[in-house]
């Protein structure tokens, strides 16, 4: 008599596994709930990245600012004064700085996300947590860095507003967070794809570090998009970062109208890259310990 | 109440031997080609048994093969096996570090794994910051850690250094701090690899005590891997023996340990043992154990003389000068009992033919099973070493004049003493 209900109970219990591990993961397994549970880890990683990078340096976080300032100065001399590339009539420093900080955000995210597996091999090999936390924290910590550099840019903008007449800021300033979000999505997706592939094919990590430098020239960082010859413009716009940098300048300098079509293209690219990125990343995280 | 909390069904894990990374594209393409035509993966069929010594020409090897078991809530299971038996692979799959090749594993509740002490410690961060980071990596939330911070610091015993970067810590301090964090995890299932092998004896005692408290006191399920049979018997009530990637025994922990030690040692002549270490300039081919009288086949007996006769390989005896031979005898639980060495008797000349015998007068071993491990070194370089090279059984005998025996659960070793 007694056994019957017990059997039912144990049977119903077996259905309530909180964890089932099988060789093959579901194709798309993005568990928001689990990531939310590990949100503290996300912020501790974020904090670790900040606290430790500039330990035992004299200038510390000032390096966030020194890097773009020096790059801007070099670009101003080389591309502005020597090569005399057009800057849409803007002060070269403002022009280059605006391009550099947006491009650097993308480039830094991609490069540091791309070795997520390799760099954290010793942690990943010993303990489980949603692996996606690592690229997420990288993108977030670069976002903070971007924030600091953006403040620097605002400082220059403020300074130049006394020198020359800059157009007033319009409503499209509200687009700014979206631009950053798209850049974050693009770099996260792209970085995750690269990081998954590097676990098997290490060649990619060499390719990515100089490839991203070359990619800068295919992006309107050191030249305005409008100065590119008409027949090449479509190729430059094929790079989803182009529209973002161009729009960033448009918002602040009113050098033209926002190209919504190009922006939508960037958004689509970001979504597709993110989707593929998560897909590949999910597949890799299960077995990469055996191949790395 | 015996609720099944972990269920492992037909779990297998395949690894690829050799240099991973060469030829992966061609293998990937081949695999994909088979899949595209609806054929099974060509590389899964290659089934090399996991024997690390024997070359069987297969590029792929099963580190685990068809493992099945269930664990009930509150059980403490010891996973036993020699090196390469698949223990760590099993724990890695259970802690979701890597996925199985085939099979399913199901669990109920949070799993925390302690495959290594101090995972994710950052050298530049202070002890306090690392407690938070390490705790979060192991799955705790910030508020959980905060509520236990004082307890953790207290347990670690590094209060004075808690705001110093971890890179200034001694390795022992690092381990203590890391274990303190891990010990205060509150998962339903705790997976512990050989992490207690580090640290000094006092710390190990503390750590084992803590794990015991966690499992028995709080009803948590623990899976524990160790080579130390003493700590396994202390902690676990159930033993799971793995050999070459397959489960060979599952049951009471003491039975499991005897099964493991028995299957581990061999009666065969040592010449065929492949699990030896050393440069091979000297090799021991055979060991004989005699009780009472050298050369007579009598069982070793408590209180009677005991002989261990080593036969060296004749072909390699050019080196028989300057050799040192050590013999260690372990109890059946793996506890070290005695160590004999030619080094300890240097003043005395011993004949170095192709054989050498240790004599222990008035055998001081209590009845039970013992294991012998020897190491032979030549000019300070290890020439031949075999772990658990042989085992022997000591039968009950007279040691003390009172004819009283020492209970086996009290001591393995007997010693003469006086009452004055």
pLDDT score at A8: 38
Is pLDDT above 70 for B234?
yes
pLDDT in tens, A229-271: 888 888 888 899 999 999 998 888 887 778 888 999 999 999 9
Q: What is the pLDDT of residue A28?
A: 58
Pairwise CB contact (< 8 Å): A44 & B122: no
What mean pLDDT is predicted for residues A209-215? 89
Instruction: Write down the pLDDT at residue A103.
Output: 94
Bridge partners (DSSP) of residue B385 are: B277, B375
Lowest mean pLDDT among A25-34, A175-184, B139-148, B176-185: A25-34
CA distance B393 to B370: 6
Question: Position of tokens 């860095």?
Answer: A145
Give the least confident one: A179-183, B56-60, B150-154, B374-378: B56-60
Q: What is the mean predicted confidence (pLDDT) over A104-126?
A: 87
For B236-265, how does the pLDDT look when each residue is reduced to its tens digit (9 = 90+)?
889 998 888 888 888 888 888 777 765 543
Task: State how far residue B187 is from chain A, nearest Cα, in angstroms.
Answer: 13
In this complex, do A17 and B125 lie within 8 Å of one another by their Cβ atoms? Answer: no
Return the residue matching tokens 């397959």: B246
What pLDDT is stored for residue A146 in this prediction? 93
pLDDT classification of B23: cutoffs 50, 70, 90: low
Which residues in chain A have their CB less than 8 angstroms from residue B15's CB?
290
Could you say which of A19, A56, A125 has the minimum Cβ distance to residue B107?
A: A19
In the sheet that holds B355-360, the strands lie side by side as B284-291, B306-312, B355-360
B26 interfacial to chain A (CB closer than 8 Å) = no
- On average, the pLDDT of chain B sits at 79
Query: Does residue B88 belong to the interface with chain A, where contact is any CB pair within 8 Å?
Result: no
Mean pLDDT to the nearest integer, A266-287: 88
Best residue of A14, A126, A286 to probe chain B, by most B CBs closer than 10 Å = A126
- Angstroms from A36 CA to nearest CA on chain B: 11
On whether any CB of chain A is under 8 Å from the CB of B21, the answer is yes
Q: Which chain A residues contact residue B138 at CB under 8 A?
A: 127
Chain B nearest CA to A140, separation (Å): 17
Q: What pLDDT does residue B217 have?
A: 76
For A19, the closest chain B residue by CA position comes to B107
**Residue B107 forms contact with A (CB below 8 Å):** yes
Q: What is the pLDDT of residue A84?
A: 84
For testing contact with chain A, the best of B120, B143, B145 (most A CBs within 10 A): B120
Residue-wise pLDDT tens digits, B323-364: 788 999 998 888 889 999 888 886 555 556 677 888 999 889
Give yes or no for residue B149 having a pLDDT over 60: yes
Mean pLDDT of B108-137: 84
Report the pLDDT averaged over residues A25-43.
Answer: 77
Predicted pLDDT at A10: 41
- As a whole number of angstroms, the distance between CA A95 and CA A161 comes to 14
B368-378 and B355-360 strand pairing: unpaired
Mean pLDDT of A191-209: 84
Share of chain A above pLDDT 90, in %: 32
Asked if residue A73 has pLDDT above 90, the reply is yes
Q: Which residues pair with B126 in a beta bridge?
A: B165
**Which is it for strands B323-331 and B336-341: parallel, antiparallel or unpaired?**
antiparallel
Name the β-bridge partners of B106. A20, B7
In this predicted structure, what is the pLDDT of residue A74? 93
Q: Please say whether the beta carbons of B380 and B319 come within 8 A.
A: no
Residue B266 has pLDDT above 80, yes or no: no
Q: Does B106 touch chain A (CB under 8 A)?
A: yes
Q: Contact at 8 Å (CB) between A52 and B142?
A: no
The rounded distance, in Å, linking the Cα atoms of A217 and B352 is 79
Instruction: Looking at the complex, report in whole angstroms how far the Cα of residue B320 sits from the nearest Cα belonging to chain A.
Output: 45
The shortest C-alpha distance from B226 to chain A (Å) reads: 17
**Stretch A26-45: mean pLDDT:** 79
The burial class, CB within 10 Å (0-12 / 13-18 / 19+), for B268 is exposed
Contact B92 A289 (CB under 8 A): yes
User: By CA distance, what is B93's nearest residue in A?
Assistant: A21
Mutation target for A interface from B98, B131, B167, B191: give the one with most A CBs within 10 A: B98
The Cα A28–Cα A278 span in angstroms is 8
The phi, psi pair for B306, rounded to 5°, reads -130, 135
Q: Is any Cβ of chain A less than 8 angstroms from the Cβ of B3? A: yes
Q: Which value does ipTM take for this structure?
A: 0.80
Mutate to test the interface with A, among B1, B43, B99, B101 (most CBs of A within 10 A): B99
Predicted pLDDT at A97: 92
Say yes or no for a CB contact (<8 Å) between B111 and A126: no
Q: Please give the pLDDT value at position A154.
A: 92
pLDDT of residue B45: 53
Q: Distances from the Cα of A208 to the Cαs of A192, A214, B19, B98, in angstroms?
A: 12, 10, 24, 27
For chain B, percent of residues with pLDDT exceeding 90: 6
Average pLDDT over residues A114-127: 83
* DSSP class per residue in A230-244: HHHHHHHHHSHHHHH
CB nearest to B115's CB, from A14, A127, A201: A127
Residues of A within 8 A of B96 (CB-CB) are 19, 21, 128
């Amino acid at each position: 008599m007694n056994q019957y209900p017990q059997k039912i109970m144990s049977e119903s219990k077996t259905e309530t596994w909180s964890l089932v591990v099988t060789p093959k993961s579901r194709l798309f397994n993005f568990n928001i709930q689990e990531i939310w549970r590990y949100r503290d880890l996300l912020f501790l990683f974020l904090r670790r990245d900040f606290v430790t990078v500039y330990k035992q340096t004299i200038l510390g976080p000032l390096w966030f600012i020194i890097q773009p300032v020096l790059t801007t100065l070099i670009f101003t001399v080389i591309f502005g004064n020597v090569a005399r590339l057009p800057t849409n009539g803007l002060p070269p420093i403002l022009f280059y700085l605006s391009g550099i900080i947006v491009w650097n955000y993308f480039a830094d995210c991609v490069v540091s996300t791309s070795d997520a597996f390799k760099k954290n091999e010793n942690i990943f090999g010993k303990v489980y947590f949603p692996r996606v936390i690592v690229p997420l924290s990288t993108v977030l910590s670069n976002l903070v860095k971007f924030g600091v550099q953006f403040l620097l840019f605002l400082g220059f903008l403020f300074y130049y507003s006394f020198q020359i007449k800059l157009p007033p800021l319009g409503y499209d300033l509200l687009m700014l967070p979206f631009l950053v979000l798209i850049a974050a999505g693009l770099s996260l997706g792209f970085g995750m794809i690269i990081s998954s592939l590097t676990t098997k094919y290490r060649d990619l990590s060499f390719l990515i570090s100089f490839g991203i430098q070359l990619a800068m020239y295919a992006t309107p960082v050191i030249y305005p998009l409008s100065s590119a010859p008409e027949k090449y413009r479509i190729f430059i716009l094929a790079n989803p970062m182009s529209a973002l940098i161009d729009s960033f300048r448009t918002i602040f300098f009113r050098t033209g109208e926002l190209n919504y079509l190009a922006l939508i293209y960037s958004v689509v690219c970001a979504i597709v890259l993110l989707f593929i990125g998560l897909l590949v990343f999910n597949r890799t995280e299960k077995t990469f310990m055996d191949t790395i | 109440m015996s609720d099944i909390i972990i269920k492992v069904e037909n779990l297998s894990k395949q690894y690829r031997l050799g240099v991973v990374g060469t030829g992966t594209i061609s293998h990937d393409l081949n695999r994909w080609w088979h899949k595209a035509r609806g054929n099974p993966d060509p590389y899964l069929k290659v089934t090399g048994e996991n024997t690390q010594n024997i070359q069987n020409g297969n590029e792929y090897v099963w580190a685990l093969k068809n493992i099945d078991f269930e664990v009930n809530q509150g059980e403490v299971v010891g996973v036993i096996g020699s090196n390469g038996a698949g223990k760590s692979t099993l724990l890695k799959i259970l802690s979701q570090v890597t996925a199985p090749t085939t099979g399913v594993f199901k669990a109920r509740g949070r799993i925390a794994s302690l495959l290594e002490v101090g995972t994710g410690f950052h050298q530049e961060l202070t002890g306090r910051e690392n407690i938070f980071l390490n705790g979060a990596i192991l799955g705790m939330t910030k508020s959980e850690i905060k509520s236990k911070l004082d307890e953790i610091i207290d347990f670690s015993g590094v209060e004075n250094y808690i705001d110093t970067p971890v890179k200034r810590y001694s390795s022992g301090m690092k381990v203590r701090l890391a274990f303190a964090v891990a010990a205060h995890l509150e998962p339903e299932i705790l997976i512990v690899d050989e992490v207690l092998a580090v640290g000094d004896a006092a710390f190990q005692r503390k750590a084992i005590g803590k794990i015991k408290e966690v499992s028995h006191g709080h009803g948590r399920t623990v899976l524990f891997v160790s080579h130390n049979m003493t700590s396994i018997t202390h902690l676990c009530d159930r033993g799971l023996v793995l050999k070459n990637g397959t489960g060979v025994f599952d049951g009471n922990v003491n039975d499991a340990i005897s099964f493991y030690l028995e299957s581990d040692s061999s009666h065969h002549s040592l010449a065929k043992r492949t699990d030896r270490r050393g440069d091979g300039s000297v090799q021991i081919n055979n060991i004989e154990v005699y009780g009472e009288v050298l050369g007579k086949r009598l069982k070793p007996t408590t209180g009677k003389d005991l002989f261990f006769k080593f036969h060296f390989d004749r072909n390699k005896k050019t080196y028989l000068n300057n050799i040192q031979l050590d013999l260690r005898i372990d109890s059946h639980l793996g506890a070290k009992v005695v160590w004999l060495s030619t080094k300890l008797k240097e003043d005395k000349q011993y004949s170095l033919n192709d054989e050498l015998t240790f004599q222990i007068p008035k055998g001081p071993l209590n009845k039970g099973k013992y294991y012998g491990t020897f190491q032979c070194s030549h000019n300070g370089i290890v020439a031949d070493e075999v772990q658990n090279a042989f085992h022997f059984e000591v039968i009950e005998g007279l040691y003390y004049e009172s004819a009283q025996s020492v209970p086996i659960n009290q001591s393995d070793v007997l010693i003469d003493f006086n009452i004055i």
